[in-house]
Structure 1
Amino acid sequence: MKINWNYIKTFLLIGAVFVLFAFAEKRNSTRVLSEVNLHFTNDENLYLTEEAVNKLLIQNEVRVKSVGKETLDLNRVESLLEAHEMVENAEVFMTVDGKLGAEITQRKPLARVFGENTYYIDRQGLKMPLSEYYSARVPLVAGISEKQLKEVQPLLSYINEDDFLKKHVTGLQRLEGGRYELQLRKLDFVVFLGAVNDLETKFKNFKAFYLKAMKDKKLNAYTKVDLQFGNQVVCTKK
């Protein structure tokens, strides 16, 4: 019997194609989502790294096997990312070339609580854990509990958004009745702010006092500067 080698070669070629296709399909179905294109929107140091994000996705078995089939649940991926303690917001999307992308906004610490438990206060007035990747240079807050974070948040936001205060304020102490004292960089006196109200007026008065005292070379002549009395600044001399 004469063997038709052309038929055999054709069948072998078809079989090889199926084997390669099956191998590629299996490989894609188990390929972990480690190639996600990440972009951190914060223009500052990272409290969360790409490696940490990829680890989170791997642990939750997020895979790319269904990306091309449009069945990947992008909302689930967003929820996983936003559940991370360092993430404030996440936007997950598909790029034009079929890859998965994510824009991540990190939580922003405004201050660091110093006490029995150490943690950050973020810009929403919520407790934020310390990061193993970066330590933020923010004011220290003492004498405060977790129940009082929302109380101090407006003060911390005001300080963070003001270049002068951000440069000079290094610490805050909560006193009885929700009153606050501020410690300043390289100065001996404390600033008694009082309650967290009328911040614009109080700090406007303080800046005027500071510039006048610096001009007169008397910044080191005081132990306390009191801002709680409306439009006046009351100073205690050494």
Structure 2
Amino acid sequence: MNKILQIILWIITIVAIVVVLSFVNKSQKSRVFDAEQVRVNIDYETENRFVDEDGVKSYVFNVKDTTNKLLGDFDVLNIEQKISGNSAIKDAQVYKTIDGKIIVNVKQRRPIARVFTRNESYYIDEYGSLMPLSNNYTSRVVVISGILNEPFASRYKFNYQNLPDSLSSKTLLDDLFILTNYIDKSSFWKAQIEQVYVNKDLDLELIPKVGNHKIVLGGVDNLDNKFSRLMVFYKKALPKTGWNEYSEINLKFKNQIVCTKIYN
């Protein structure tokens, strides 16, 4: 008897929920759209400002929509797709609330490096994908320049964190992502390294913010070892000699640091 009663109660509860949801859905569809009820939440934790509230709202509605358009006329999935089509946006979630609001939650992509080739410039984001520049905002990240011929149009579809082996020998961008991602994950090196330069031998050189020297890294092999040696040199040698004693610090050679002095 108790089991039968429990089943009946469950059925009544389910029916009640369906009725309430149906009522809410019908109420939403017949509600007149109010532009003031659109709420936009943008993830600004990374301090990037590629998109703003007005820009996001332009994907949700236009001037015509503010005159006697019903809330039910807005397709949230379609709005999400429009917003996600913005190259600066990583993810967009759109939904309607019971009280008639349209909520838009946006997460921006986070660049970790800016590439300058002979003819163009673009970003590499934290996931290894290429990202075009924005007219709204310029991100302060490590700059990559030098002997580079990596056109955005033929490279942007690749994710350099998961680049196929068949392509890895055809581009420097996978190595540049590995290096800048390593720098990005260290608060010290992120604050210290200003630029990565690709020289004529395709060696990677680092230009620090402090000091007049350049750091010849070579390739991206053994990064832990190379940066550990550099850190020891920074802590033990440079405080004694001064930050402007050397023009070059070379880490290419195994377990060695080869320095070139500045001669006046």
- Same fold by TM-score greater than 0.5: yes
Q: Which residue of 1 aligns with 2:261?
A: 237
Question: After superposition, where does 1:93-172 map in structure 2 within 5 Å?
Answer: 93-115=95-117, 116-143=119-146, 144=148, 145-146=150-151, 147=155, 148-172=172-196
Change (3 A) 1:179 1:75: farther
- Unaligned 5+ residue runs, structure 2? 1-28, 156-171
**1:130 Cα deviation from its structure 2 partner:** 2.5
Q: 2:232 aligns with which of 208, 215, 222?
A: 208
Q: Residues 113 and 62 from structure 1, CA distance in 2 versus in 1: closer, same or farther, beyond 3 angstroms? A: farther
Partner letter of residue 194 of structure 2? T
Secondary structure of the 1:47 match is: coil
Alignment partner of 1:97: what SS? Answer: coil
Which residue matches 2:14? none
Change (3 A) 1:95 1:179: farther
The question of 1:50 aligning with 2:53 is answered: yes
> What is the one-letter code of the residue matched to 1:83?
G
| Displacement of 1:106 | 0.7
Find the counterpart in structure 1 of residue 82 from structure 2: 80
User: What's the secondary structure of 2:205's corresponding residue?
Assistant: strand
1:100 Cα deviation from its structure 2 partner: 1.4
Alignment correspondent of 1:194: 218
Task: Evaluate the alpha carbon distance shift between residue 96 and residue 150 of structure 1 in structure 2; reply closer, same or farther with a 3 A threshold.
Answer: farther
What's the % identity of the aligned pairs? 30
Letter in 2 for 1:111: A
User: Which residue in 2 is equivalent to 1:225?
Assistant: 249
Secondary structure in 2 matching 1:231? coil
What is aligned with 2:165?
Answer: none
Larger displacement relative to structure 2 (198-207 or 177-186): 177-186
User: Contact 1:32–1:58 at 8 Å: present in 2 too?
Assistant: no
**Contact conserved, 2:31 with 2:100, CA < 8 A, in 1?**
no
The answer to which of 187-196 and 36-45 deviates more is 36-45
For structure 1, the 5+ residue unaligned runs are 1-24
Query: Could you say what secondary structure the match of 2:144 adopts?
Result: strand
Aligned 8 A contact 1:62 1:77 in 2:
no
Matched positions, count: 210
TM-score by length of 1: 0.76
Does the C-alpha gap of structure 1 residues 27 and 190 become closer, same or farther in structure 2, counting only changes over 3 Å?
same
Aligned mates of 1:97, 1:164 — CA distance in 2: 48
Query: Counterpart of 2:244 in 1: which secondary structure?
Result: helix
Name the aligned partner's letter for residue 121 of structure 2.
T
Give the drift of 1:218.
3.3
Q: Counterparts of 2:174 and 2:100 in 1: how far apart (Å)?
A: 43
* Structure 2 length-normalised TM: 0.69
SS at match of 1:110: strand
Structure 2: distance between partners of 1:49 and 1:190: 38
RMSD: 2.9
